[in-house]
Amino acid sequence: MNRRRLAAILSALLLVVSGCAAPVMNPNAASDDDVDTTTEWSWPDDPPTDRLGWENGYWYNETIEVNQSDGLNATEREAFVARTMARVEVIRELEFTEPVPVEVISRAEYRNESAIGTAPENESEALHADWNDQVWESLLLVGEDRTIDEVFGELYGGAVLGYYSPSDDEIVLISSDGDPVIDRRTLAHELHHALQDQHFGLDQSPSTQDEQLAENGLVEGDARYVDRLYEERCAAEWECVARPSGSGSSGGPFDYPVFLTIYAPYSEGPEFVSALHERGGWAAVDAAYANRPVSTEQIFDPSAYPDERPVDVRIEDRSSDAWTRYDHDPVGDTVGEASIFAMFWKHGAIDRDNLQRNTGAYSAYNYSAGPSSGWAGDLVVPYRPTSDETASANPHQRAYVWRTVWDTEEDARQFETTYVKTTLQLRLGAKRVAPNTYVVEDGPFADAYRVTRTGDTVTIVNAPTAAELDAVHRPA
């Protein structure tokens, strides 16, 4: 999963809260060490040097004239952006070091310019896309009737409200087709991403899906925690620009279980950051950027951060000459607890209604479920036919080996039982054709599956037919 795709993703569950006027705070308490306090300057005039709560000529609690009923002109946008930057500084207690360009485009423009969901441009991209499709197929989330890029294309095209690009150092906000308007919470969220990038760097991406989601739990959790605090200030203290009507996503069909996977950082990340903040204030959150979370398990359970790390899972190559691993670095992917939860949710293997029960103060969903809890580590290794002719002739002639490790044997047994009995047999109609071997005859997941458990470890081998399972990964 591409890190930048995640950085640009959904803010679909924002609250609509009205605002009121704010009291004045003396900014001297947050002044820079190098400010010459003997200069003739008094609040609320512009300070002689930049400081927390002031940006580009505007204080954080300064009144501005912004009317979005007919769109935003350049003067209104400049004031709106500058004051929001100053407010993000006050909440997060970090200073912007550089200005941040903000562009507003229509959703139609975004759809036209976005490369998400487009076909690969070369062989290398095609092989990576093929590899990634097998990872999502291993989760029984995206079958052979679609590609994950097609699913992302549907999802992002209608749901993205804005994004910050670390490579371009700019923010792009998506407005409803018509007069360009800005949603204050989306603006605060994306400005905070720019602030994070200036202080901690957001241009590197972890190598596995679970690590990407985990790091996003910190990055997006921090931004959503801040934009939530921003809205609370609007409700209690600050005079705020009214949020435009229809400022959410444009709707349309999308794959909800895939959405649940990539939305996990947005839902559970704010709870994680709130827990860090309670431990040691913003200094504890800042420190987490130097030691970023490495699993969604840590995001779901902050007590597991930073000490409880995933186990190192390896899969030895036992394939025949007919099958080969992709030339991909890394050779396999770790999907993690969030993705396993989404798999079981998709197929009704867990109580779906529990998703919106017992949520935290800052979370939208509840990602806790017995068959995915107790995760300790995993690895998915995709395979393709060794013959390029065979691989090209049948793009569905693919395979994978997925190994999961659990905290206890009981956790492993629960995962195995839920995967085999509820998901494969009950939901997908798989037939048992041999010991530990099952075949799904129809549908997007029509394949053969061999599921074995040894202690706390469950290994799933997938191939087009039961006869090919040994060729993909012969038993030890």
Residue 11 has what pLDDT? 33
Residue 251 has pLDDT above 90, yes or no: no
Residue 81 has what pLDDT? 97
Token pair belonging to 264: 């996990």
DSSP string, 181-194: ---HHHHHHHHHHH
Residue 157 has what pLDDT? 78
Residue 191 has pLDDT above 90, yes or no: yes
Residue 443 has what pLDDT? 97
- Give me the amino acid identity at 350: I
Residue 114 has what pLDDT? 74
- Contact between residue 365 and residue 302 where contact means Cβ atoms under 8 Å apart: no
**3-state SS class at 201:** coil
Question: Cβ atoms within 10 A of the Cβ of 14, count?
Answer: 20
pLDDT in tens, 382-402: 999 999 888 888 888 999 999
Residue 20 has what pLDDT? 26
Residue 117 has what pLDDT? 60
Alpha helices in 95-208, H assignment, sequence order: 107-113, 123-138, 148-159, 184-200
Between CA 209 and CA 294 the distance in angstroms is 10
Interval 275-303 mean pLDDT? 98
Interval 419-423 mean pLDDT? 98
Confidence of residue 116 (pLDDT cuts 50, 70, 90): low
Could you tell me which residues are beta bridge partners of residue 54?
51, 59
Residues 283, 286, 290: CA angle, nearest 5 degrees? 130
Cα torsion for 376, 196, 71, 83, to the nearest 10°? 130
Residue 31 has pLDDT above 70, yes or no: no
Containing structural domain, residue 113: 3-245
Residue 16 has pLDDT above 60, yes or no: no
Token pair belonging to 228: 């939530």
Question: 443: alpha, beta or left, given left = phi > 0 and alpha = psi -120 to 50?
Answer: left
Between CA 238 and CA 245 the distance in angstroms is 20
Residue 22 has what pLDDT? 27
Does some domain include residue 60? yes
Task: Give the H/E segment covering residue 103.
Answer: strand 102-106
Interval 234-240 mean pLDDT? 95
Residue 450 has pLDDT above 60, yes or no: yes
Interval 33-53 mean pLDDT? 64
Percentage, residues of the chain above pLDDT 90: 74
The phi and psi torsions of 90 (rounded to 5 degrees) equal: -65, -45
Q: Among 111-115, 323-327, 398-402, where is mean pLDDT lowest?
A: 111-115
Does some domain include residue 435? no
- Contact between residue 441 and residue 464 where contact means Cβ atoms under 8 Å apart: no
Q: Among 39-48, 315-324, 359-368, where is mean pLDDT lowest?
A: 39-48
Look at the pTM and tell me if it is higher than 0.85. yes
**3-state SS class at 100:** coil
Q: Among 283-292, 392-401, 421-430, where is mean pLDDT lowest?
A: 392-401
Interval 25-49 mean pLDDT? 52
Does some domain include residue 24? yes
Residue 33 has what pLDDT? 40
Q: Which residue has the tokens 């003997």?
A: 38
Residue 350 has pLDDT above 70, yes or no: yes
Bigger pLDDT: 42 or 178? 178
pLDDT in tens, 73-102: 999 999 999 999 999 999 999 999 999 999
Token pair belonging to 476: 């030890």
Q: Sign (positive/negative) of CA torsion 355, 358, 364, 366? A: negative
Q: Structural domain tally of the chain?
A: 1
Interval 204-218 mean pLDDT? 96
Cα torsion for 319, 324, 327, 329, to the nearest 10°? -30
Residue 15 has what pLDDT? 22
- Contact between residue 73 and residue 104 where contact means Cβ atoms under 8 Å apart: no
Residue 267 has pLDDT above 50, yes or no: yes
Does some domain include residue 144? yes
Residue 176 has what pLDDT? 75
Does some domain include residue 116? yes
Does some domain include residue 43? yes
Percentage, residues of the chain above pLDDT 70: 88
Task: Give the H/E segment covering residue 457.
Answer: strand 457-463
Confidence of residue 8 (pLDDT cuts 50, 70, 90): very low
Residues 443, 412, 455: CA angle, nearest 5 degrees? 125
Residue 25 has what pLDDT? 34
Between CA 77 and CA 300 the distance in angstroms is 37
Residue 18 has pLDDT above 50, yes or no: no
Token pair belonging to 179: 């007069």
Interval 147-173 mean pLDDT? 90
Work out the mean pLDDT of the chain and round it to a whole number. Answer: 88
Side-chain-facing half-sphere of 258: CA atoms under 13 Å: 25
Bigger pLDDT: 51 or 188? 188
- Contact between residue 296 and residue 214 where contact means Cβ atoms under 8 Å apart: yes
- Contact between residue 173 and residue 182 where contact means Cβ atoms under 8 Å apart: yes
**Nearest CA-CA partner of 258 in 143, 358, 356:** 143
Confidence of residue 1 (pLDDT cuts 50, 70, 90): very low
Residue 17 has pLDDT above 50, yes or no: no
**Nearest CA-CA partner of 271 in 301, 291, 294:** 301
Does some domain include residue 465? no
Question: 336: alpha, beta or left, given left = phi > 0 and alpha = psi -120 to 50?
Answer: left
Residue 5 has pLDDT above 70, yes or no: no
Does some domain include residue 324? no
- Contact between residue 310 and residue 377 where contact means Cβ atoms under 8 Å apart: yes
Residue 169 has pLDDT above 60, yes or no: yes
